[in-house]
Amino acid sequence: GESVGLHLPTLSVQEGDNSIINCAYSNSASDYFIWYKQESGKGPQFIIDIRSNMDKRQGQRVTVLLNKTVKHLSLQIAATQPGDSAVYFCAENKKTSYDKVIFGPGTSLSVIP
């Protein structure tokens, strides 16, 4: 079936190191991918997105990489800070689904001071 999932459910990194959060998707028809951050007790917050016609996009301290050949998405956070501790979700949007965003199960990032 169609799904968006994460390779690692939990990730611990030292403050100042770079973090890499991975995500696999199975639907090759997906044309838009989004990363969300969810802090404890709060709703998800948009981080960065990427279209399927791109393989890399950079934001402030974050980079998203898309490998369509192996249907893999990753979020890289540079110089990880304690405030980056949260659950990170990747999500896909299928061209035919218009408003419907399919979320993966999430991975928890813990930053060790």
Partner 1 sequence: NAGVTQTPKFQVLKTGQSMTLQCAQDMNHNSMYWYRQDPGMGLRLIYYSASEGTTDKGEVPNGYNVSRLNKREFSLRLESAAPSQTSVYFCASSELGGPKYEQYFGPGTRLTVT
* Residue 97 contacts residue 31 (beta carbons within 8 Å): no
In the complex, least distance from residue 25 CB atom to partner 1, rounded to whole angstroms:
12
Is the Cβ of residue 17 or residue 55 nearer to partner 1 in the bound state? 55
Among 46, 55, 79, 81, binds partner 1 (CB under 8 A): 46
Structure tokens at 77: 């956070």
The CA-to-CA distance between both ends of the chain, in Å, stands at 40
Which residue in this structure is represented by tokens 């611990």? 12
Least CB distance to partner 1 at residue 99 (A): 4
Report in angstroms how near the CB of residue 14 gets to partner 1 at its nearest: 26
Cβ proximity of 26 and 34 under 8 Å: no
User: Is 36:88 a contact under the CB 8 Å cutoff?
Assistant: yes
Nearer to partner 1, 42 or 83 (CB): 42
Sign of the alpha-carbon dihedral angle for 63, 46, 19, 33? negative
Single out the residue of 28, 45, 67, 110 in contact with partner 1 (rule: CB under 8 A).
Answer: 45
Binding site for partner 1 (CB under 8 A): 4, 31-32, 34, 41-46, 49, 89, 91, 93, 98-106
